[in-house]
């Protein structure tokens, strides 16, 4: 039987690792070529890992929530004999030769150990992958020893290399197992009644989570993985950047009229719907070329001036979560190219078909809060960028119109642009001038232009 090593595939130039979120196939399951074996997640995108071959899954080298590097082997698949391994499990003595039966029995035992090992070391507060637990069991490593191994993985996790290095050191005498006294059970003391403590300072209270009252009618739902990530990103951004906002109202009457006039012809010729988003993105890209100080990132005490203008566009997913796919080199696209890029990323975001590289490398972000009827908003900066622009809802409003014959009141299509920027490196002059330039491009839109 041939053993095929299923490795974590390369998912993009900037993606080096992924977390296993779910095994779709268990040990002993039959797998067809191109069939998904497990689900993985990078920082922002979830995807599946398909098998390149048909066969039987005989070993899972990592467990759920394990962090895996690109190129690492994550599973073993038996590729020859089709359903033979399964049949051999039930009919070893009747159908297999003695030598073959012994080999099959050995494989079965290895599979059983892989499956059952995940139940070992359950009393530990630390997380260990099934592979690490299996090695520990085979080498007779106790729980106390395993917990004392210094891990080089994420958050101090013990990796395969760490435990093998420990085993080698123990065999050579360079490492000694801890004495039994070190693994003494923890003593849980019954709390004693104490006098009321003094009230803690307010500054300490503010650092603690506010207790939440739950009654019988409330429903408790755990955040999904993406919501936890978004929560962490938002809090980290507010703690990192000194957020300040500038607002400006824009007359987009000419844009509304032009789009109404050409949208049918545009869709017929290009096969794409023409929304307001690519028109706004085009103006933002032009303004970033005029004000490169907004197209930067901050790294400690250093400012990184970005060569390319890569526009992130915040998109709402069907489950209510948020994702930010990126339009690369947005300043090099005409309106048709921008519309195609916006529609492609938006459609793939809704369908869950984005690739990890689709969300990487953004230098500035635009979010359309007007989609949900909001007039304006104060968006949080998408780190490590230094600015984000919120597009408000387009509304018909009465406005003063200046003409050579005098001023009069008319109905105009207007919207608000809300610009949040990082006051550590962007002052009001730059932040305000940038959003004003975007407004100028939009108000000067040529109604006679071709698309």
Q: What is the per-residue pLDDT across 236-252, written as a single tens digit (0 to 9) for each?
A: 999 999 999 999 999 99
Taking residue 448's Cβ as centre, other Cβ atoms within 10 Å add up to 5
State the Cα–Cα distance between residues 244 and 239, nearest whole angstrom.
13
User: What's the pLDDT at 36?
Assistant: 87
Per DSSP, 187 falls in state: P
Both tokens of 157, joined, read: 């996790």
Contact present, 152 and 146 (Cβ < 8 Å): no
SS3 at position 333 = coil
345: CB partners within 8 A, 6+ apart: 313, 315, 325, 326, 327, 354, 358
What is the separation of C-alpha 344 from the centre of its chain, rounded to a whole number of angstroms?
A: 19
> pLDDT at residue 186 above 50?
no
Confidence of residue 154 (pLDDT cuts 50, 70, 90): low
Q: How high is the pLDDT of residue 352?
A: 81
* pLDDT confidence of residue 105: 55
Residue 338 pLDDT grade (very low, low, confident, very high; cuts 50, 70, 90): very high
Q: Range with the lowest mean pLDDT among 7-16, 180-189, 321-330?
A: 180-189
Please tell me which residue in 243, 251, 344, 423 is annotated as part of the active site.
Answer: 423
* pLDDT, tens digit, 9 for 90 and up, residues 269-303: 999 999 999 999 999 999 999 999 999 999 999 99
Q: Which of 30-44, 198-212, 430-444 has the lowest mean pLDDT?
A: 198-212
User: Is 423 annotated in the active site?
Assistant: yes
Q: Which of 277, 329, 254, 292 has its CA nearest to residue 434?
A: 292
Active site residue 422: no
361-403 pLDDT, tens digit per residue, is 999 999 999 988 999 999 999 999 999 999 999 999 999 998 8
Q: What is the predicted pLDDT for the residue at 83? A: 42
Determine which one of 218, 427, 448, 450 is catalytic: 427
Cβ(419)–Cβ(433) below 8 Å: no
At residue 3, the pLDDT reads 87
Annotate 403-444 with three-state secondary structure: ECCEEEEEEEEEEEEEEEEECCCCCHHHHHHHHHHHHHHHHC
Q: Tell me, what's the pLDDT at 295?
A: 98
């Amino acid at each position: 039987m041939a053993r095929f090593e299923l490795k974590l595939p390369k998912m993009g130039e900037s993606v080096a690792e992924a977390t296993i979120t779910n095994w779709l196939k268990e040990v002993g399951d039959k797998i067809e070529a191109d069939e998904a074996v497990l689900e993985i997640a990078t920082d922002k995108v979830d995807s599946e890992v398909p098998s390149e071959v048909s066969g039987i899954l005989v070993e899972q080298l990592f467990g759920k929530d394990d962090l895996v590097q690109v190129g690492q082997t994550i599973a073993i698949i038996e590729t020859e004999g089709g359903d033979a391994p399964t049949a051999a499990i039930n009919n070893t003595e009747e159908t297999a030769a003695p030598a073959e039966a012994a080999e099959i029995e050995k494989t079965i035992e290895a599979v059983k150990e892989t499956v059952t090992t995940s139940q070992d070391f359950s009393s530990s507060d630390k997380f260990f992958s099934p592979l690490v637990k299996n090695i520990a069991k085979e080498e007779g490593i106790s729980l106390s020893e395993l917990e004392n191994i210094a891990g080089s993985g994420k958050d101090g996790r013990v990796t395969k290399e760490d435990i093998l290095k420990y085993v080698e050191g123990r065999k050579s005498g360079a490492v000694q197992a801890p004495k039994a006294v070190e693994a003494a059970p923890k003593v849980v003391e019954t709390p004693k009644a104490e006098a009321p403590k003094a009230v803690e300072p307010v500054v300490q209270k503010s650092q603690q989570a506010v207790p939440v009252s739950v009654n019988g009618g409330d429903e408790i739902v755990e955040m999904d993985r993406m919501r936890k990530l978004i929560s962490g990103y938002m809090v980290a951004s507010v703690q990192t950047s000194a957020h300040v906002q500038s607002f400006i109202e824009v007359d987009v009457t000419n844009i509304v009229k032009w789009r109404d006039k050409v949208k049918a012809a545009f869709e017929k010729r290009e096969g794409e719907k023409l929304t307001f988003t690519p028109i706004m993105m085009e103006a933002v890209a032009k303004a970033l070329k005029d004000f490169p100080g907004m197209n930067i990132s901050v790294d400690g005490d250093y400012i990184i001036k970005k060569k390319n203008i890569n526009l992130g566009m915040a998109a709402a997913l069907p489950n209510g979560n948020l994702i930010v796919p990126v339009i690369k080199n947005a300043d090099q696209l005409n309106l048709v190219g921008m519309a195609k890029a916006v529609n492609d990323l938006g459609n793939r975001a809704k369908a869950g078909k984005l690739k990890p590289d689709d969300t990487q490398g953004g230098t500035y972000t635009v979010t359309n809060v007007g989609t949900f009827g909001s007039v304006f908003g104060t968006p949080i900066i998408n780190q490590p960028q230094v600015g984000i622009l919120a597009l408000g809802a387009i509304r018909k409003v009465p406005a003063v119109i200046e003409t050579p014959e005098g001023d009069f009141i008319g109905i105009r299509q207007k919207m608000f642009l809300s610009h949040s920027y990082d006051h550590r490196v962007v002052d009001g002059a730059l932040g305000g001038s940038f959003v004003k330039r975007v407004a100028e491009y939009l108000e000067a839109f040529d109604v006679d232009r071709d698309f």
